[in-house]
Amino acid sequence: MRLSDAIEEFIKTMMMEQDEPEIELKRNEMAEYFRCAPSQINYVLSTRFTPDHGYVTESKRGGGGCIRIIRIQRKNGEFLKYLLEERIGDAISPRAAQILCGKLAEQGAISQRTAQLMYSAIAPESLAVPIPEMLKDKLRARMLRSMLTTVARHGPAGGEG
């Protein structure tokens, strides 16, 4: 298993066990525990604990410094609203779109299958036509908004419908 995955899991497990929406950790301690460079911890945070993933982080340097990881909890439908009104905007990368679809499923706003279906529509392979990447990002945003609007209209998907 990848180191990054192990660290990610460790942190999430820690949050689960403490049943707290936030935890504090010492970067150097973590690095020592996993026998890796301290900056590895930053890498994990910046690739797996972003706002798109549903987390925000804070930190304090200097003596007694630490990193705080906070899980954002949104009520049913709020996340969807946030995506449509703020997050997606008029362009979005494939990677971000994938993360957001995954997050929607995790939150139960859509089923895992619907998430896969949505992502398969906007994945790079689907958009493999000769147009600038910039346009693809715009297309993706439009499609995603359109699909999410449909989801919002027709209820939280996944069901038999």
**Contact positions toward DNA, by CB under 7 A?**
2-5, 25-29, 35-43, 46-47, 57, 59-67, 95
Report CA torsion sign: 14, 20, 22, 24: negative
- Specify the residue, 23 or 126, whose C-beta has the smaller distance to a copy of itself: 126
Cβ–Cβ under 8 Å, residues 69 and 41: no
Residue 77 near which of a copy of itself, DNA, none (CB within 5-8 Å, type-dependent): none
Distance CA 110, CA 101 (A): 9
Quote the CA–CA distance of 108 and 156 in Å, as a whole number.
8
From 11, 74, 80, select the one nearest 44 (Cα to Cα).
Answer: 11
Residue given tokens 């890796």 in the structure block? 36
Nearer to a copy of itself, 45 or 122 (CB): 122
In this complex, which beta carbon is closest to DNA, that of residue 134 or of residue 155?
134
In whole angstroms, the minimum distance from the beta carbon of 145 to DNA comes to 15
**Closest of 85, 92, 151 to residue 117, by C-alpha:** 151
Residues at the site binding a copy of itself, with contacts judged by CB under 8 A: 1-2, 5, 63-64, 111-114, 116-118, 120-123, 125-131, 135, 138-139, 142-143, 146-147, 149-151, 153-155, 157-161
CB of 14 or CB of 131, closer to a copy of itself: 131
